[in-house]
Amino acid sequence: MTSISLGSPVPDFEALSTGDKSVNLRDYRGKYVVLYFYPKDNTPGCTQEGQAFRDNIEKFTALNAVILGVSRDTVRVHEGFKCKQAFPFDLLSDADEKLCRLFDVIKMKNMYGKQVQGIERSTFLIDPDGVLVREWRKVKVKNHCEEILQALNEPASKGLA
């Protein structure tokens, strides 16, 4: 898979998901998809980010948007995280990093003084036709959810600009 760019269709993908299912991007045609990549379940920043999406789920639903979280954690770990945090959206397991590589979110990071490859917190907004219309890289958790809601409310994200 090659990486994608703004204004381009996102190739259909399949990933294992919470709820004992397999998710395909095509399953969400007709809706906006907020695809957010985060480093690891049950860590402070990732928990806060997920909680912000959870706490605003009605606003996203009202804007015809679904939320999907992605990390390299297993579905089993995702199930525990989702249950513990009462997330009303699915978490996708990308243990083989196919989605991470498609969206180019695997980056070199410093962890305890060592260079490691990890997920750079990033969010992508895919329109109802499957086109990538917005991206946020090197995301800071604070106010990020509001930035996405604002983008969903902008005419450009609805193909009107």
| Nearest to 148, CA basis, from 48, 44, 63, 31 | 63
Q: What is the value of pTM for the model shown?
A: 0.90
Rounded Cα gap, residues 6 and 141, in angstroms: 22
Q: How far does Cα 17 stand from its chain's mean position?
A: 13
Structure-block tokens of residue 87: 């997330």
CA-based angle 146:150:154, to the nearest 5?
Answer: 170
**Fold category of 14-158 in CATH:** Glutaredoxin (3.40.30)
Catalytic residue positions?
Answer: 46
pLDDT by residue, tens only, the chain of 161 residues: 456 889 999 999 999 999 989 999 999 999 999 999 999 998 888 999 999 999 999 999 999 999 999 999 999 999 999 999 999 999 999 999 999 999 999 886 776 777 777 788 899 999 999 999 999 999 898 999 999 999 999 865 555 43
Rounded Cα gap, residues 80 and 144, in angstroms: 24
